[in-house]
Amino acid sequence: MREDWLRKLEQELSGLHEKGRYRSLRTYDGIDFGSNDYLGFATDPKLKKEAIEALGSATLSSSSSRLLPGHHAEHLAAEKHFANFVGAESALFFNSGYDANHALLTTLPTRHDLILYDERSHTSIYDGVHASLARSHRFAHNSADDLAYQLERVGQRAQPAQVFVVLESVYSMDGDVANLKEIVDVTKEFKAITIVDEAHATGVLGKHGEGLVKDTIGRNNNIITVHTCGKAFGAAGAFVCGSKTVTEYLINKARPFIYTTALPPMIPLQIMNALRRLESEGDKLVLALWEKSCFARATLQGSLRRWYVPDGVTPIISIIIGADEDALRASHLLVEHGFDVPAIRPPTVHDGTARLRLNVSLRHSEDELRRAIEAIVGTELEIAK
């Protein structure tokens, strides 16, 4: 029986190979255009030096949950600092953005509630929604009109005690920005709680990198945001930001928070160093990243003939190719040219929209960007032969 079970798994893996959707772990070679290190903080010499110095006084592990001796002064200090940075009343630190979304969506909505979520939400949102006891329904991507329609249609049928609307401020596959003001206007009308995942907006949008919510709509007790620190902050972990009542409730009820060993104190120290950098020069960094991203996007749009690059203002630039095999081959050819640009394939994106995803970072020089773009244009021609 055991061999039959393993044979079934092997057949599924073989099917992934045939479809061009097999994944494997590898070390990445060449100039990195695949990671989410938008500000270059992960390799920043000054931040690395500060981290090494901080390590001298920090313990190597928290060794337990924060409700046990795993709670350290560094965790609390980072929460207060981050809440102030994004203009929230309170913040709670989680081990990852996935944990934060899962905790929110399995803790706050009950079986009597309704969750409406954008159809292009990240898998961490999908998984949290599906693990929740609440009823759920998708709304058309970035559409305030469809959200209002679903609130009327599904809301009248389900008669929920509370509605939660979940979206991202920047979507990770297309790099497009949420129609946040229009969507929040709808959620206010229906007295819904709005949860905004700011994973790819933190450090990227806002006056100093605070994300989209603070400057676009401001904050109130019906808005909860999630900010990851493993992307632009060059660290790890994530903050849930909202009212103090929400964070206290999560401390008492959220299983992903209660039953996991906390991240080492070194991580919140690293985050606070990144925060200080953004507070002092975030406006310049955000502008410089925007300028680099716009240059790369416009140059690709003007140079590619078969592949499609959507409009946008973020450092996530999708180069939509179509066929899984072509996207995979393009990525391999670019590695041969010294550039690591990953192929993104279904089920991460819809069938027929396999793509290269080029993530621009402040660590990329103008010469590296130009050479990467030239290599992508050349790869398009090579695959078209």
Residues designated catalytic:
36, 122, 168, 172, 197, 200, 231
Say how many CA atoms lie within 13 Å of 255 toward its Cβ: 7
List, as one string, the DSSP characters of 247-282.
Answer: HHHHHHH-HHHHTSPPPPTHHHHHHHHHHHHHHHHH
Q: Which of 229, 240, 317, 212 is nearest to 39 (CA)?
A: 229
Q: Return all residues near 52 (Cβ < 8 A) that are at least 6 apart.
A: none
Q: What is the rounded distance in angstroms from the CA atom of residue 36 to the CA atom of residue 101? A: 19
Cα angle: 327, vertex 331, 334; to 5 degrees: 140
Say how many CA atoms lie within 13 Å of 258 toward its Cβ: 12
Q: What is the rounded distance in angstroms from the CA atom of residue 239 to the CA atom of residue 256? A: 13
- Check residue 352 and give left, alpha or beta (phi > 0: left; psi -120 to 50: alpha): left
Q: Using CB atoms within 10 Å of the CB of residue 318, give its burial: 0 to 12 exposed, 13 to 18 middle, 19+ buried.
A: buried
Please give the structure tokens belonging to residue 111. Answer: 């079986």
